[in-house]
Amino acid sequence: MGILGDEGLPVKGSVEYYVALAHRDRIIRGRHLAASNDQLFPLTFSGGNDTLRIPPLGHLHYAYVSVGTPSLSFLVALDTGSDLFWLPCDCKEGGCIRSLPFSSGQVLLLNIYSPNNSTTSETVSCTNSLCKHRCPSASSNCPYKVEYLSYNTSSTGILVEDVLHLITDDDQLRAVNTSITFGCGQSQTGTFLEGGAPNGLFGLGMDDLSVPNTLARNGVASNSFSMCFGHDELGRITFGNNGSSYQKETPFNVGQAHPTYNVSITQVAVGRNSSELGLSVIFDSGTSFTYLTDPVYTFISKSFNSQVQNKRTSFDSSFEYCYELSPTLNYEVPSVNLTMKGGDQYFVTSPTLVVDIEEGNVVYCLGLVKSEDISIIGRDYLSLYLYLLLYYEFKVLTNLFILIQKIS
């Protein structure tokens, strides 16, 4: 695929459109790579800081990452709800997806990583401090298996080390290459074989194994990252971004056995109704929608329902509160405002989702799903426009921006 001008791009919104945009940016930025220096600057992937949501691949945001020598490019899903970065690697039969078909009939071939094909790759032994799984012997390669919330979804393989290719996220675009530990995913199951994260998952969690922690440990970036999700399905990601002074704050809930980006909501307001009900929520870019437990779920949904004018309807979906849309597709909904621990307030800019349930029949739904156990604010509700800071503060901008920084 060559470099495309705007007039040469595929139809906007198609898989081909987003792949072409990212491919073009990757080539343009790659021309400007220069030698790195010893100063710490915000970093991003060597192909650029672009992220993209590809509708046929679910509600996740994706980015191109380059790994190994010679470098190979992978289209990975970005996930704040997990820690391990893994790539499809030396795949066992039926354990990986090797291509993506497009609606146009074209097929995008996906790279498969192999330690044997990279001169900078090394295996991770069971004596390595990052190896957390039981090993047959101390000299064995470190195995891993990660199971995810989606039904029967997992990645299994061994841990390896190799070079991650980055650049400074500034006008200079200097090359910064650093060794990281990641999963050589030999066998994937469930969603990973059905179109979700088919070419790897980039875990951005709090564990020592996550890439943000690794970059800080290697001394190439401060322990932080930022992600921006735009309304046009595009976004950006940067590592080592320290934020600014005007962001709002709330503390993380620390001391968990498995730390997550968990914060406390102390008050909820829906239009003219407000409540002192509180709950703890996890922010997870790898979860598509928002799941809330009672009594907060019931308060938000019933308060919302009492203030909308459209006729309520039902269809086979996870959303309980859906409404008919007029032919003009215009509708008004009450505001949804969350007050976080510490008193700062955050407005949900888009609490609803428009769903085309059949040709000519469009509805909108309150984008909440009732949960029986855990509350999660997912990617679509990250239109809260969040800015997370991982020195156990949580900071929010007004343009859908997540930054995480951990002070050691």
Of 380, 389, 112, the C-alpha closest to 251 is: 389
Q: CA quadruple 362, 367, 372, 373: dihedral positive or negative? A: positive
Of 199, 210, 252, the C-alpha closest to 54 is: 199
Which of 79, 83, 90, 162 is catalytic? The answer is: 79
Kind and range of the H or E element at 23?
helix 15-30
Phi-psi region of 246 (alpha: psi -120 to 50; beta: other; left: phi over 0): alpha
284 is catalytic: yes
Q: End-to-end distance of the chain based on CA atoms, in angstroms?
A: 44
Please report the DSSP string for 363-388 in residue order.
Answer: EEEE-EEE-SS--EE-GGGGGGT-EE
Of 310, 312, 288, 298, the C-alpha closest to 376 is: 288
DSSP 8-state class, residue 187: E
**How far is C-alpha 331 from the geometric centre of its chain's CA atoms?**
29
Which of 50, 83, 90, 284 is catalytic? The answer is: 284
50 is catalytic: no
The residues that are catalytic are 79, 284
